[in-house]
Chains A and B, each alone.
Chain A
Amino acid sequence: MQPTPPQLAVLKAALFAACLWPLAQLGWLAWKDGLGANPIEFITRHLGTWTLNFLLITLAVTPLRHLSGWHWLIRLRRMLGLYVFFYALLHFLTYLWLDQFFDWMSIVKDIAKRPFITAGFTAFLLLIPLAVTSNAAMLKRLGGRRWTQLHRSVYAIAIIGVVHYWWLVKKDITLPLLYAVLLGILLGFRALRLARERQRQLRAAIYENG
C-alpha cells in the first residue's frame, strides 16, 4: 500500500486535526463545566497523559513501518513528534501558570527537590532541541548522521517521561506500569532489530574473510 501524494496530503491533514482532539476535549469540558472539582489538576493530568500517548505513538511509527512494510508512515513521524512537544509545552505551561502561577521560588524548589518534577522538567528540556531540529533545513545542516544521533535521545526522554509519571502516583502504579510495558515493547523491538543486524553483519564479515 502506497498512498499517492494527494492521498498522503489528505492523510496528513486528517492526522493534524485528529491530534488536536485532546485539546478540543479540554475546551469542550471547560465550556460545559465538566473539568471536575479540581480543574487545574484535571488539565495538568490530561495534558501529561497525552504527551506520553503521543510519545508512544511516535515511537510506534518505526516498528509499525517494519512490520507492515508501509514505509510511507515515516512521512507522518515529524508531525507526531512535534505534537509530543506541543502537549509537553502545554503541560509545562499549565504547571507554570495555572498550578504555580509563576511562583518562581517554589518552582525552582520543586524542580530541585521533587524527583518527579526534576524528571519531568529534564524530559521537557531534552525535547526542545528535537523540536528545533525537526525540519528538513536543520536535518541538512546537521547532516544525517549527527541528526540521527541527536534524535536518538528521544529514547531517553521516553524513559524519563514514564519515570516522571511513575514517581508522581500515590500508590496505584497500574497506568505507569502500562506505559512502561508499552515503551519496553517499542524499545525492545529496536534492540532486537539492532542485535539481528549486528549478527548479520558479523556473519557477512566472517564469510567474506573466509
Chain B
Amino acid sequence: MLIKRPDDILPSEITPRELFERRREFIKAAGAFALAAGLPPLALAREAFPSLQKGAHSTLEPPNSLRDITTYNNFVEFGFGGKSQPAERAGAMRTHPWTVSIEGLVHKPRTLAIEDILKIAPLEERIYRLRCVEGWSMVIPWVGFPLAALIKQVEPLGSAKYVEFITQTEPAAMPGLRLPYIDFPYTEGLRLDEALHPLTIMAVGLYGDVLPNQNGAPLRLVVPWKYGFKSGKSIVKIRFTDKPPRTSWNIAQPDEYGFYANVNPEVSHPRWSQEKERRIGEFFKRKTLPFNGYADLVAPLYAGMDLRKNY
C-alpha cells in the first residue's frame, strides 16, 4: 500500500498576518453585532487596554467567546434565578466613581480610587480556566495584575493571616440583595499566602477591554484553582484579618461550600459529582483536574492538609 505523505502547507493556505492580527477588530464588530442583537451594550468592545503584557501562566486552550463569558454568569446580587439575569440587570450598577477601602491588619490602610488601582502594576492578559462549582467551566482572557502588588502597597502586619473581599451592595440596582438566601454583602476570603500567590490576580478587564458589569466590574478577584464563587466580584473592601473570614456561601450552606473550595474531582459536592465538567461550548464532558489544572503551581500551599476535610 502506498502511504502518501501530506504535502506541506501551501503558502496560500496560511492566514495573512494582517488578518489574524485583526482579532481586536473582530471583537469590536462582534460587540456591535451584539448591540444590534439587543444584548447589553457592555458587550461592545472599546479597546480600553491597548498595550497589554502577556502575563505568565496563561493557558493555550482557546478562550470562550465574549458572548458566552458575558451572558452566562452567576452574580447573585442580580438574582438567583438564571444565568442570563446578571447580563440583563447588571447594567444598572454604578461603577464610577469607585473606591476600594483596604483596611484591617496593615501598616498603611488606605482608600484607593479605581483609577489609582489601575496604576499599581502593569496590566497583563491572563488566560485562565474557570471552573464553577456547578460543574461547568470556561477559558477566560482576563486583564489584570497580581493581587500581591496591591497587598505590597498596604504592608500587612505580621499578624495578618487572611484576606477578606467584600462585594459592592447597591440596593437600587441589585434585586438579589432582597432575597434571604445569602448574607450580603457577598464576602469571600483567602489565606494570605493564597492571596499572595502569583496566580491570584485582580481583574479589571476581559478580552482586552474593561470588565462588563456582569463579570464583576470594575475590579474583581480571580483565583483560578478554586471554584468560581471564591472569586468575588465588584470588590469595594479588602480587609486583612487574623482569623478566617466568614464567607457567604459557607454561611449559607456549610456542608456544601467550604472555605478553601479548591477544585477537586475527588471531593463531591454533596448533591453532585465533581469528577467531570462541561466546558461551555463543548459537547462531551471533560475530566476535572485537581486544582483546576494548576496543581504544579499551588498544591504545595496545601502540603500536609487533608483536602477532604478542608474542602
Contacts and interface: CB of A to CB of B under 8 A. Distances in A.
User: How many interface residues does chain B have, given as a range?
Assistant: 20 to 34
B271 A37 contact: no
B271 A114 contact: yes
Contact of B273 (A101, A109, A172): A109
Interface in B205-259: 252-253
Contacts of B285: 100-101, 103
A197 interface: no
A115 B81 CA distance: 22
Interface of A: 36-38, 40-41, 98, 100-101, 103, 106, 109-110, 113-116, 167-168, 170-172, 174-175
A167 B84 contact: no
Contact of A172 (B68, B134, B181, B253): B181
Contact of A168 (B84, B179, B271): B271
Interface in B62-98: 64, 67-68, 71-72, 76, 80-81, 83-84
Contact of A38 (B80, B83, B253, B272): B83
A37 B278 contact: no
Contact of B253 (A41, A171, A174, A175): A171
A40 B278 contact: yes
Interface string B277-307: 0101101110000000000000000000000
B72 A171 contact: no
Contact of A36 (B71, B252, B273, B283): B71
B179 A172 contact: yes
Given A37-B281, A38-B278, 20 more contacts: A36-B83, A36-B84, A37-B67, A37-B72, A37-B83, A37-B280, A38-B72, A38-B136, A38-B280, A40-B283, A101-B284, A101-B285, A113-B268, A113-B273, A168-B271, A171-B76, A171-B252, A172-B179, A174-B80, A174-B81
A42 B154 CA distance: 45
B24 interface: no
B271 A167 contact: yes
A36 to B, nearest CB: 6
Contacts of A174: 80-81
A187 B81 CA distance: 27
Interface of B: 64, 67-68, 71-72, 76, 80-81, 83-84, 134, 136, 179, 181-182, 252-253, 268, 271-273, 275-276, 278, 280-281, 283-285
Nearest to A173: B181
A171 B181 contact: yes
Contacts of A114: 271-273
Given A36-B83, A37-B71, A171 B182 contact: yes
B97 to A, nearest CB: 32
20 contacts: A36-B83, A37-B64, A37-B71, A37-B72, A37-B280, A37-B281, A38-B280, A40-B278, A101-B285, A103-B285, A114-B272, A115-B271, A116-B271, A167-B271, A168-B271, A170-B134, A171-B80, A171-B252, A172-B80, A175-B81
A100 B280 CA distance: 15
A100 B64 CA distance: 22
A115 B84 CA distance: 27
A106 to B, nearest CB: 7
Contacts of B76: 171
B287 to A, nearest CB: 11
Nearest to B68: A37
A169 to B, nearest CB: 8
Contacts of A116: 271
Contacts of A175: 81
Contacts of A170: 80, 134
B178 to A, nearest CB: 12
Nearest to B252: A171
Contacts of A40: 278, 283
Which 7 pairs, one residue from A and one from B, show the smallest C-beta to C-beta distance?
A: A172-B80, A37-B72, A37-B68, A171-B181, A37-B280, A114-B272, A38-B280
A175 B179 CA distance: 13
A183 B261 CA distance: 37
A175 B83 CA distance: 15
B113 to A, nearest CB: 33
A97 B280 CA distance: 17
Contacts of B68: 37
A87 to B, nearest CB: 20
A167 B272 CA distance: 11
Nearest to A172: B80
Contacts of B84: 36
Given A115-B271, A171-B182, A172-B80, A106 B72 contact: no
